[in-house]
A and B are shown apart, each in its own frame.
Chain A
């Protein structure tokens, strides 16, 4: 290859001007690396253009480079948001958001706790109301019962324990005017399964028992006071243990308590 002729063609001047095709540029670069003369020539041409462009320059103010730095730096800051200031701001934002969320959660929990507390208190209040009602009604019952027993027409008959159960006792409150008898059976043991107490009115001469009724649901009656009808001219009252449903005549072997009507 004729290097001098190649240089003289003016192609290197166009190379420096940037007017060659991409393929031609690659060619020139390859030759420049192969032939130092070509490389030297290129640099000489470039030097001429550098001198010329410098001679028409309005100069570069000292602020030019720092201005470029500022602009590049701004873009960099946007690209990499790890700069201190940005971080501080975003950390503060996140911290505030987390605090706020935690606060909300705490308040939500508090609210729920209070709500369930109110629920419990309300239920307790209902229970207490219930209890109060029960107490009231049982008090009324008791008062009514007491009224009945206090009636001036009532004769009290104490029934003492007999051979089967000497410990037992009972009381009969007999209102002759109203033909009612109240049996206070709190001194009797609970009857065994399949048995029930039966109350008898007795006439002594001759001994004539007439059934007044059964003390059914013995366990369920908490006052253990039973109201029965009595139209007899009773001279004594007795209580026997009979098979469930009662008997025609008293089983005297199972006579628990007995008492005569006094004067």
Chain B
């Protein structure tokens, strides 16, 4: 990528609208994707995606690069927004009631769908990944579970979560190279 991300983020923090537009171009699809895995409603996911970027703009100065990646920051905002939405729809819903098998659901749906040409398909990314791998990734990155919560949910020792996650991400990185 030719874009100097650090410089872009500095300009964004100074409320430079062009920098904001560029960051939106870079991350909007990802953010919509994260929200969609939680709310499981593509249209609503797109609306919430807008909410997230409005929040990002208004909180621009609060981002601190020493405390994490920019993507991690907006990922966190997107997750919280989507989880709030799901909870407000059904008060009984707790984090653990969020559907864990969603990747699988999307995977089945995409078999009948023309994937966008510039997007690497989910099926390709997840090939050779065990079910435990997709679950751990989904919980940690998309649902905002802590290591402890993941160990309870998947009934694996807490020390295993970190290393298994690394090997699962490693598999996806391999798949990306294909």
Contact A17 B141 (CB under 8 A): yes
**B67–A51 contact, CB under 8 A?**
no
**In the bound complex, what is the Cα–Cα distance between A18 and B32 (angstroms)?**
18
Interface residues of A in 1-46 (CB under 8 A from B): 8-11, 13-19, 22, 25-26, 29, 42, 44-46
Q: A82: which B residues are within 8 A, CB to CB? A: none
CB distance from A126 to the nearest CB of B (A): 77
In the complex, are the beta carbons of A54 and B147 less than 8 A apart?
no
Q: Check if A207 is an interface residue, CB within 8 A of chain B.
A: no
The verdict on A57 contacting B36 (CB below 8 Å), with A22-B67, A68-B50 known, is yes
Q: Which residues of B contact A53 (CB under 8 A)?
A: 29-31, 33-34, 37, 75, 141-142
Please tell me if A59 contacts chain B, counting CB pairs below 8 Å: yes
Question: Nearest Cβ distance between residue B126 and chain A, in whole angstroms?
Answer: 8
Are B173 and A44 in touch, CB under 8 angstroms?
Answer: yes
A75 contacts B58, C-beta separation under 8 Å: yes
- Decide yes or no whether B103 CB sits under 8 A from chain A: yes
A80 at the interface (CB under 8 A from B): no
Residue ID in chain A nearest B109 by CB atoms: A56
Interface size of A by CB at 8 A reads 41
Residues of A within 8 A of B142 (CB): 53
Does B10 reach chain A (CB closer than 8 Å)? no
Closest Cβ of chain B to A14, distance in Å, is 6
Which residues of the partner chain A approach B24 to less than 8 Å between Cβ atoms? 64-65, 68
A60 contacts partner chain B, Cβ-Cβ < 8 Å: yes
Q: In the complex, how many angstroms separate the beta carbon of A179 from the nearest chain B beta carbon? A: 119
Interface residues of B in 110-153 (CB under 8 A from A): 115-116, 119-122, 125, 137, 140-142, 144, 146-147
Q: Which of B155-178 contact A (CB under 8 A)?
A: 162-163, 165-166, 169, 172-173, 176
In the assembled complex, A72 has its CB within 8 A of some CB on chain B: yes
Any A CB within 8 A of the CB of B154: no
| B interface, over-half SS | helix
Query: B32 and A58: CB pair below 8 A?
Result: yes
Partner among B27, B50, B67, B172 whose Cβ is within 8 Å of the Cβ of A25? B67
Closest B residue to A52 using CB positions: B125
A72's partner among B27, B57, B115, B144 (CB-CB below 8 A) is B57
CB distance from B128 to the nearest CB of A (A): 14
The answer to whether A51 and B162 touch across the interface, beta carbons within 8 angstroms, is: no
A16 touches B69 (CB 8 A): yes
Tell me if B54 and A68 are in contact (CB < 8 A).
yes
Contacts of B43 in A (CB 8 A): 58
B62 interfacial by beta-carbon distance below 8 Å? no
Residue in contact with A58 in the complex, picked from B42, B53, B71, CB distance below 8 Å: B42
| A-B pairs, 3 with minimum CB distance | A58-B42, A57-B33, A10-B166
* CB<8 Å pairs between A and B, sample of 30: A10-B165, A14-B140, A17-B141, A18-B72, A18-B73, A25-B67, A26-B66, A26-B67, A45-B169, A47-B173, A48-B176, A49-B71, A50-B30, A50-B71, A52-B125, A53-B30, A53-B34, A53-B37, A53-B75, A53-B141, A55-B33, A55-B120, A56-B106, A57-B32, A64-B50, A65-B28, A68-B50, A68-B54, A71-B54, A75-B58
